[in-house]
């Protein structure tokens, strides 16, 4: 009897110790006023929630964070509860590019874990890098997503052929940008990355007021540790939720072609072109973006 009690006690202590090891700690960086955190997979994910009504979750692109949606979402709160998230290692964490957990796979797991904490299913909007994460999250857990909005989501494989000897557009950009950062030239790296994504002259045209956010998230464009799973046309067509494909009228040929291929793979998807806007269409023409997305979200 005594031995049984001792075994049970030992087992209890072992489980307690394991639980203590996996218990997430509070963030070691300041959380801005108005923002909150939700622990997902051991990481304190930062988000901001405001408004009332059906939930719409917004996922940003690289170099930005939950704050990037502020001007875009002005006026949405009257009809929706809008939640903007900062993925793992985005601001307010001041990441230096170290570690092995900045992967598409981890971001998808984190997003799905976050969505599980919400009364759902929800509407999900992903822009650029965030669009790729949102696509994979919705594909893995369609039960969590009511409708999906992809804003120029870079599913590169739809417009490229497999070539093990050739780095992807994303990896080439990351490696070139990291060389600037490692040399201490943050703005040089940002200039290279911004122009590579949005076209020549994009960095020079970036307002000084917007550049601090890009610096806060600099390593998110250079820190990717893996390529995402290659997505075929059949994979894209397998989405089980209604989809809206959004692109800017003035976006680069690269992103224009990607969105066109997505529409070809999923003919039943709705499409919207945001006038007088490039790759960052939600920021460059908020009224047109709101009209396109809210029209799609209507029951």
What is the mean pLDDT of the segment spanning 261-269?
97
Residue 283 has pLDDT above 80, yes or no: yes
pLDDT at 161: 58
- Cβ burial of 15 (10 Å; 0-12, 13-18, 19+) is exposed
Report the C-alpha gap between 19 and 140 in whole angstroms: 27
pLDDT classification of 163: cutoffs 50, 70, 90? low
- Ramachandran region, residue 49 (left: φ > 0; alpha: ψ -120 to 50; beta: rest): beta
Residue 76 has pLDDT above 70, yes or no: yes
pLDDT classification of 25: cutoffs 50, 70, 90? low
pLDDT at 13: 34
CATH number assigned to the domain covering 33-161+228-297:
3.40.50.1820
pLDDT classification of 167: cutoffs 50, 70, 90? low
Nearest CA-CA partner of 223 in 119, 75, 102:
102
Instruction: Count the Cβ atoms, other than its own, within 10 Å of residue 169.
Output: 15
Instruction: Count the Cβ atoms, other than its own, within 10 Å of residue 276.
Output: 11
Q: pTM score, two decimals?
A: 0.89
């Amino acid at each position: 009897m005594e031995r049984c009690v001792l075994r049970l006690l030992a087992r209890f202590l072992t489980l307690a110790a394991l639980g203590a090891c996996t218990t997430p700690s509070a963030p070691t960086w300041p959380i801005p006023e108005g923002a909150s955190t939700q622990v997902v997979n051991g990481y304190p994910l930062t988000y901001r929630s405001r408004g009332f009504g059906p939930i719409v979750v917004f996922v940003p692109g690289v170099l930005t964070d939950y704050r990037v949606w502020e001007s875009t979402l002005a006026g949405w709160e009257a009809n929706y509860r809008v939640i903007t998230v900062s993925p793992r290692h985005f601001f307010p964490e001041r990441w230096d590019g170290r570690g092995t957990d900045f992967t598409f796979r981890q971001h998808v797991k984190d997003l799905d874990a976050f969505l599980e904490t919400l009364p759902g299913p929800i509407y999900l909007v992903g822009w650029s890098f965030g669009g790729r994460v949102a696509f994979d999250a919705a594909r893995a857990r369609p039960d969590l997503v009511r409708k999906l909005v992809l804003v120029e989501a870079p599913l590169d494989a739809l417009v490229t052929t497999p070539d093990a000897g050739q780095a992807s557009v994303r990896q080439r950009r990351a490696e070139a940008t990291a060389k600037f950062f490692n040399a201490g030239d943050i703005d040089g790296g940002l200039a290279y990355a911004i122009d590579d994504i949005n076209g020549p002259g994009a960095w020079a045209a970036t307002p000084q007021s917007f550049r601090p956010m890009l610096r806060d998230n600099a390593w998110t464009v250079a820190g990717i540790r893996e390529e995402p799973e290659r997505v075929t046309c059949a994979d894209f067509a397998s989405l089980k939720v209604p989809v809206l494909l959004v692109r800017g009228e003035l976006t680069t040929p690269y992103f224009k072609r990607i969105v066109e291929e997505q529409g070809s793979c999923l003919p039943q998807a709705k499409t919207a072109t945001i006038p007088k806007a490039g790759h960052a269409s939600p920021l460059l023409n908020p009224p047109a973006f709101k009209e396109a997305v809210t029209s799609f979200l209507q029951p």
